[in-house]
């Protein structure tokens, strides 16, 4: 980590905190019992998280959705996803945990991923006290957060105290080993460009060789290593430079026998769920919500023509 890199990261974070999503929901549409901030003990210090509690009468343990914001592993805050977390908690009757994980370059790979995993384990350990079901946890994220969600699904596979039943991978970076200049869009000026991607990668990876690690670049995992992962909802955008690697990862998951609920959104670029077009953003959030509902209910999914129960 060098001083110039850190200063650039801090400037980017300051700009990101001031940014507002162009597409948001009115909080009044999705009333909740409460929203509170909690600090979860981890190896990297207390992790701040926003807890969205649904107003449900049932005494049954709640399913959980762990949300991971975007920002290239360097910037972003959970508040950027506040509107959508409220919608999911209300409509699904689940606890949504919106995590403020540690960022690079101060905390390069694997800190953010491992901290998120410790948060998963903490939630499972607090299941009875929180009134949640550790056997019905979904993970998901946007851009860099989608990358972390894929890594969490891999780390949690076969865990004895918790079960990830679904992963949401929303226009994620899934191959950091490929040079950003080779990631193309039909737009002259897509939202993500090579210079910014190089900066993100240089902050996140303390050694460029780490880009070959499947926990950094899930697309590089061999098919056999993907078997047994939970079903995935995978979203890409037509003009996003990350579209190709997202679609390639979806195909690799299918080869491994993983149920993949995939959709490419035409006429959209990176971050369209937050920046619009509004109709596409709303459609994507409905797509995510429907997939999570099926996963929490244990509804079967289709894989290569056969019906399999959500893991």
- Catalytic residue annotation: 143, 240, 270
Q: How much is the CA Rg of the chain, to the nearest whole Å? A: 18
Q: Residue 200: CB partners within 8 Å, gap ≥ 6?
A: 72, 73, 74, 144, 173
Q: How far apart are CA 143 and CA 274, in angstroms?
A: 11
CB 99 within 8 A of CB 67: yes
Residue 293 CA: distances (Å) to CA of 94, 117, 181, 234, 256: 9, 23, 38, 15, 23
Q: What b/e sequence results for 210-225 when a residue is b if at least 16 CB atoms lie within 10 Å of its CB, and e otherwise? A: bbebebbbbbbbeeee
CB 62 within 8 A of CB 82: no
Q: To the nearest 5 percent, what fractions of the chain are helix, strand and coil?
A: 40, 20, 35
Sheet strands (E) in the chain:
34-40, 47-53, 62-68, 95-100, 132-142, 164-170, 231-237, 260-265, 300-303, 306-309
Residue 115 CA: distances (Å) to CA of 10, 49, 150, 203, 210: 21, 12, 14, 17, 18
- SS3 at position 168: strand
């Amino acid at each position: 980590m060098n001083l110039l890199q850190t200063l650039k990261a801090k400037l980017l974070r300051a700009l990101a905190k001031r940014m507002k999503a162009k597409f948001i929901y009115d909080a009044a549409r999705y009333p909740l019992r409460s929203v509170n901030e909690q600090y979860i003990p981890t190896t990297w210090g207390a992790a701040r998280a926003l807890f969205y509690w649904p107003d449900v009468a049932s005494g049954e343990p709640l399913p959980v959705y762990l949300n991971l914001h975007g920002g290239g592993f360097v910037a972003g805050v959970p508040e950027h996803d506040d509107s959508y977390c409220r919608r999911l908690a209300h409509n699904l009757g689940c606890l949504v945990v919106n995590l403020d994980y540690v960022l690079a370059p101060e905390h390069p790979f694997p800190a953010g991923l491992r901290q998120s995993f410790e948060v998963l384990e903490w939630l499972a350990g607090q299941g009875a006290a929180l009134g949640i079901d550790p056997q019905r946890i979904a993970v998901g994220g946007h851009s860099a957060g989608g990358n972390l969600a894929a890594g969490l699904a891999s780390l949690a596979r076969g865990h004895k105290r918790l079960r990830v039943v679904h992963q949401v991978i929303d226009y994620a970076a899934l191959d950091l080993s490929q040079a950003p200049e080779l990631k193309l869009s039909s737009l002259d000026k897509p939202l993500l460009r090579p210079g910014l991607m190089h900066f993100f990668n240089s902050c996140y990876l303390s050694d460029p060789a780490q880009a070959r690690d499947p926990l950094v670049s899930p697309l590089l995992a061999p098919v056999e290593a993907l078997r047994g992962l939970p079903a995935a909802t995978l979203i890409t955008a037509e003009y996003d430079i990350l579209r190709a690697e997202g679609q390639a990862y979806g195909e690799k998951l299918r080869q491994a026998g993983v149920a993949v609920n995939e959709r490419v959104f035409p006429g959209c670029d990176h971050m369209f769920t937050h920046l619009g077009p509004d109709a596409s953003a709303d459609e994507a959030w409905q797509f995510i919500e429907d997939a999570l509902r099926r996963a929490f209910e244990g509804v079967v999914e289709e894989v290569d023509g056969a019906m399999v129960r959500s893991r």
